[in-house]
Copies of this chain bind each other. A is one copy, B any other.
């Protein structure tokens, strides 16, 4: 079945969140900080912060709100006090200006000639659009957390994206650097592409090969574009 649309995980798959957050944390909080460790600690609170929403214990709240809450916890964990609201806001917005992995922007432009493209991420619309404009990407729509008012890997996110673009699920390719995301997408009939991101977590590495069966396994997004004939 020909792939007609690609939907993308964003953090880790398209952008290097760890390097970006580390640099911004050092800039905003002071050079004494070990930015990489700060970024890791902040990201470690990401999945737990989504869980009360996935289970329905908490109404949907966007990632800026969740990032702001977990930032306070990470600052306390690092023993950093006296950070004013403006600096905290600047840190939360650091997630809006992350740089793409080097090959991503060119590869997306090539893919867009023959496919419909959208982020399918937990990022809210404003964050996804900010990253797109920061990195020069053009998408056809924005799916994900705010579109479906829930968080991956809940079924609604995958199903709503497939329904909205309107191609068969098997013609809709979920692109991610995380096997769990791809397993969830596959369970709803989507085709899947794994992108190796061996440096996503810095010294702790990242997924170099998929841990689940996938339709495509790629070394980076340019490799996926080549495999799709773009």
Contacts and interface: CB of A to CB of B under 8 A. Distances in A.
Contact of A129 (B124, B140, B146): B140
Interface in A107-133: 116, 124-126, 128-129, 132-133
Interface residues of A, number: 18
A222 B221 CA distance: 37
Contacts of A128: 141
A106 B140 CA distance: 18
Interface of A: 116, 124-126, 128-129, 132-133, 138-142, 146-147, 164-166
Number of copies: 2
Contacts of A116: 129, 133
17 contacts: A116-B129, A116-B133, A125-B141, A125-B165, A125-B166, A126-B164, A126-B165, A126-B166, A128-B141, A129-B141, A129-B165, A132-B140, A139-B140, A140-B142, A141-B141, A141-B142, A147-B147
A138 B138 contact: yes
Q: Which applies to chain A's interface (DSSP): helix, strand, loop or mixed? A: helix
A107 to B, nearest CB: 18
Query: Which of A125, A126, A164 has the most chain B CB atoms closer than 10 A to its own CB?
Result: A125
A50 to B, nearest CB: 19
A92 to B, nearest CB: 12
Contacts of A164: 124-126, 146
Given A132-B140, A133-B140, 9 more contacts: A116-B133, A125-B141, A129-B140, A129-B141, A129-B165, A138-B138, A142-B142, A146-B164, A147-B147
A-B residue pairs, 9 tightest by C-beta? A125-B164, A126-B166, A141-B142, A129-B140, A138-B138, A125-B141, A146-B164, A129-B141, A126-B165
A130 to B, nearest CB: 9
A126 B147 CA distance: 14
